Structure 1
Amino acid sequence: MKIAVLSSHTSSLFWFRMDMMKDFVENGHTVIALGSEPETEWKEKFKKYNIDYRQLYVERNGINPFKDLKTLRCLYTFMKKEKPDKVFAYQAKTIVYGSIAAKITGVSEVYPLIAGLGSIFRGEGLKNKIVKSIMKIEYWIACKFSKKVFFQNQDDRNEFIQNGLLKGDKTVIINGSGVDLERFKPTPFPDEPAFLYIGRLIKDKGIMEYLEACKKIKEKHPKVRCLLVGPFDSNPSALKPDELEPYIESSVIEYFGEQTDVRPYISQCNTYILPSYHEGTPKTVLEAMAMGRPIITSDAPGCRETVNEGLNGYLIKVKDIKGLTNKMEYLINNPEIGKSMGQESAKIAREKYDVKVVNQSIIQTMGL
Structure 2
Amino acid sequence: MKIVYLVSEDWYFWMHRLPIALEAKANGYEVHLISRRGDFTDKIVSYGIHFHEFSIDRKNLNPFKEIGKVKEVGKLLRKIQPDILHNVSMKLSLLGTVASYFYQKCKIVNSITGLGYLYSNSFFLVRLIRYFFSKFASFYFQRTNALSLLENPDDERVFLSSLGLHKDLVKVIPGTGVDLQKFPFTPLKQDSHLRILCASRLLKTKGIVELSEAIRESKKTNPNILCTLIGKIDAGNPSSLSSEFVKQCEEEGIWEWKGFTDDVLPYYQKAHLVVLLSYGEGLPVSLLEAMAVGRGVLTTDVQGCREVVEEGKNGFLVKDKNVEEPVSKLRYLADHLDELEVLGKHSRELAEKKFDRKLVNQTILSIYRN
TM-score normalised by the shorter chain: which range applies? over 0.9
Q: Which amino acid aligns with 2:7?
A: S
Deviation at 1:42, TM superposition (A): 3.6
Deviation at 1:285, TM superposition (A): 0.6
Deviation per residue, 1:24-77 (Å, 9 max, x gap): 011011100111234xx4442112322112211211221467861332121011
1:320 maps to 322
2:83 maps to 85
Q: Which amino acid aligns with 1:119?
A: Y
1:199 aligns with 2:197: no
Cα contact 2:246–2:257 (8 A) shared by 1: no
2:211 maps to 210
1:162 aligns with 2:164: no
Query: Which segments of 5 or more consecutive residues in structure 2 lack a partner in the other structure?
Result: none
Change (3 A) 1:45 1:357: same
1:32 maps to 32
TM-score by length of 1: 0.95
Deviation per residue, 1:336-362 (Å, 9 max, x gap): 211101000001111111101001111
Q: Which amino acid aligns with 2:303?
A: P
Cα contact 1:204–1:278 (8 A) shared by 2: yes
Q: Please show how residues 171-182 of structure 1 align to structure 2 within 5 Å.
A: 171-182=170-181
Superposed CA RMSD: 1.6
1:307 aligns with 2:319: no
Change (3 A) 1:167 1:195: same
Query: Which segments of 5 or more consecutive residues in structure 1 lack a partner in the other structure?
Result: none
Equivalent position SS for 1:150? strand
Q: Please show how residues 63-212 of structure 1 align to structure 2 within 5 Å.
A: 63=61, 68-144=66-142, 145-190=144-189, 191=191, 192-212=193-213
CA distance in 2: counterparts of 1:217 and 1:366, whole angstroms: 48
Equivalent position SS for 1:100? helix
Deviation at 1:276, TM superposition (A): 0.5
CA distance in 1: counterparts of 2:40 and 2:216, whole angstroms: 38
Equivalent position SS for 2:25? helix
The alignment-based identity, stated in percent, is: 30
2:60 maps to 62
Deviation at 1:104, TM superposition (A): 3.0
What is the aligned length? 366
Cα contact 2:134–2:163 (8 A) shared by 1: no
Cα contact 2:4–2:32 (8 A) shared by 1: yes
CA distance in 1: counterparts of 2:291 and 2:28, whole angstroms: 32
Change (3 A) 1:72 1:239: same
TM-score by length of 2: 0.95
Deviation at 1:274, TM superposition (A): 0.5
Cα contact 1:57–1:74 (8 A) shared by 2: no
Q: Which amino acid aligns with 2:283?
A: T
1:257 maps to 259
CA distance in 1: counterparts of 2:163 and 2:283, whole angstroms: 23
